[in-house]
């Protein structure tokens, strides 16, 4: 999840570059700040959050805390199958699990980078990417044994690309310094068949047909940040972001139609149900529901007003994570 909420709390990179402390097993971990959730094979839930907390459940009610070798805030989690998963977070940390999330190992931990990773995606158990703030982008082709950093300057404005190219010739040290902070935050990466979609800061929406080796930046439709993008059940694209902004595309990104959300808070996540409904989660207890493939939305504001940061559809209900932990939301059709 996504930088505003997280801030609350090819060169080969060394795998571990600092000593770490194990996450503490805490009775109230399920009520702490949690930032992402995934479901494995529609049976097992995995949640990540602050202080290195990773929680597991097979029913959405009882939660078991995993053994985790770091105490940094973890921001995203992804599994390729019932056994192999990865979690990412602050200090450019990347963890892996080969036992369905019961235990985790450090693949990368770089406090000196001073940037969080915000999302992770694997094509299979070998090929994956991790993205984050200021254009942070790492790639692996061996399951995370080695991670390589990439700079995707094709996602900059043309004038910034020109500036960087000139600076590289004039002053290599200054170039490296600017390169580390000139790109926008990469908030979310999702797969749609062979295509990857990237959503981020400064209105960034981009797509790639070669697993992120190169990116095509789509025309700007809004100058603010986007936090999630997904393909709807009927095949249209939906993207959500700051100030209640929702855009829907019937033609893979052109043109986009602005959808009236009737809210002004940050929208952080899109949840697709198995009964053709679409839910959007956001700050201030925002929960929006669509029954017409995202053309219109109905508000179901949560009474406690707490931020709903991410969620999944699980056994006919939403299991969401928030700044006060795990929440179960039932909305009958």
Q: What tens digit of pLDDT does each residue of 183-196 get?
A: 999 999 999 999 99
Torsion of CA 157, 248, 235, 204, to 10 degrees: 20
| Mean pLDDT for the stretch of residues 228-241 | 97
Cα 219 → chain centroid: 22
User: Contact 220/212 with Cβ under 8 angstroms?
Assistant: no
pLDDT category, 1, cuts 50, 70, 90?
very low
Question: How far is the CA of 2 from the CAs of 75, 109, 152, in angstroms?
Answer: 8, 19, 19
Nearest Cα to Cα of residue 258 among 218, 294, 231, 219? 294
Q: What is the pLDDT of residue 16?
A: 54
- For residue 112, being part of any structural domain is answered with yes
What the block records as the tokens of 44 is 């097992």
| Mean pLDDT for the stretch of residues 75-81 | 98
| Mean pLDDT for the stretch of residues 242-254 | 90
Within 10 angstroms of residue 163's Cβ, the number of other Cβ atoms is: 15
- For residue 82, being part of any structural domain is answered with yes
- For residue 182, being part of any structural domain is answered with no
| Mean pLDDT for the stretch of residues 43-69 | 97
d(C-alpha 41, C-alpha 312), whole Å? 12
pLDDT category, 15, cuts 50, 70, 90?
low
- How many domains are there within the chain? 1
pLDDT category, 70, cuts 50, 70, 90?
very high
Q: What is the pLDDT of residue 20?
A: 83
d(C-alpha 21, C-alpha 315), whole Å? 36
User: Contact 261/244 with Cβ under 8 angstroms?
Assistant: yes
Q: For all residues of the chain together, what is the average pLDDT?
A: 94
- pTM (predicted TM-score): 0.93
What the block records as the tokens of 246 is 């929702």
Q: Which long-range contacts (CB under 8 A, 24 or more apart) does 276-283 make?
A: 276/233, 277/331, 277/333, 278/232, 278/233, 278/238, 279/311, 279/313, 279/318, 279/331, 280/240, 280/246, 281/308, 281/309, 281/310, 281/311, 281/318, 281/320, 282/240, 282/244, 282/307, 282/308, 283/307, 283/308
pLDDT at 122 over 80: yes
- For residue 283, being part of any structural domain is answered with no
pLDDT at 9 over 90: no
CATH of the domain at 92: 2.120.10.30
| Mean pLDDT for the stretch of residues 66-83 | 98
Q: What percent of the chain has pLDDT over 70?
A: 95
Length reported for the chain: 333
- For residue 160, being part of any structural domain is answered with no
- For residue 229, being part of any structural domain is answered with no
The phi and psi torsions of 184 (rounded to 5 degrees) equal: -70, 165
Which domain does 36 fall in, by range? 1-150
| Mean pLDDT for the stretch of residues 239-243 | 98
- For residue 257, being part of any structural domain is answered with no
d(C-alpha 62, C-alpha 40), whole Å? 16
pLDDT at 11 over 50: no
- For residue 324, being part of any structural domain is answered with no
């Amino acid at each position: 999840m996504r930088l505003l909420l997280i801030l609350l709390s090819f060169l080969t990179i060394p795998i571990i570059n600092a000593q770490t402390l194990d996450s503490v097993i805490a009775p109230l971990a399920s009520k702490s700040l949690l930032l992402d959730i995934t479901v494995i094979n529609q049976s097992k839930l995995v949640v990540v959050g602050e202080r290195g907390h990773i929680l597991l459940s097979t029913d959405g009610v009882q939660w078991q805390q995993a053994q985790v070798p770091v105490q940094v805030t973890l921001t995203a989690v992804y599994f390729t199958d019932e056994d192999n998963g990865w979690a990412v977070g602050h200090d450019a940390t990347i963890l892996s699990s080969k036992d369905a999330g019961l235990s985790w190992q450090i693949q990368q931990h770089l406090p000196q980078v001073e940037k969080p990773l915000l999302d992770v995606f694997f094509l299979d158990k070998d090929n994956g990417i991790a993205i984050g703030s200021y254009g942070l982008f790492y790639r692996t082709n061996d399951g995370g044994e080695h991670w390589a950093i990439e700079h995707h300057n094709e996602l900059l404005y043309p004038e910034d690309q020109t500036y960087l190219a000139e600076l590289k010739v004039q002053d290599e040290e200054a170039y490296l310094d600017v390169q580390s902070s000139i790109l926008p935050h990469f908030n979310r990466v999702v797969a749609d068949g062979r295509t990857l979609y990237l959503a981020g800061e400064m209105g960034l929406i981009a797509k790639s047909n070669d697993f992120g080796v190169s990116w095509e930046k789509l025309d700007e439709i809004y100058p603010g940040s986007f936090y999630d993008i997904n393909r709807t059940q009927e095949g249209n694209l939906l993207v959500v972001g700051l100030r209640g902004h929702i855009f829907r595309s019937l033609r893979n990104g052109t043109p986009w139609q602005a959808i009236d959300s009737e809210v002004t808070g940050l929208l952080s996540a899109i949840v697709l149900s198995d009964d053709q409904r679409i839910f959007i989660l956001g700050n201030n207890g925002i929960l929006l529901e669509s029954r017409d493939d995202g053309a219109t939305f109905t508000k179901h504001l949560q009474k406690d007003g707490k931020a709903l940061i991410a969620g999944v559809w699980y056994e006919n209900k939403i299991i969401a994570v928030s700044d006060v932990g795990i929440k179960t939301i039932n909305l009958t059709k």
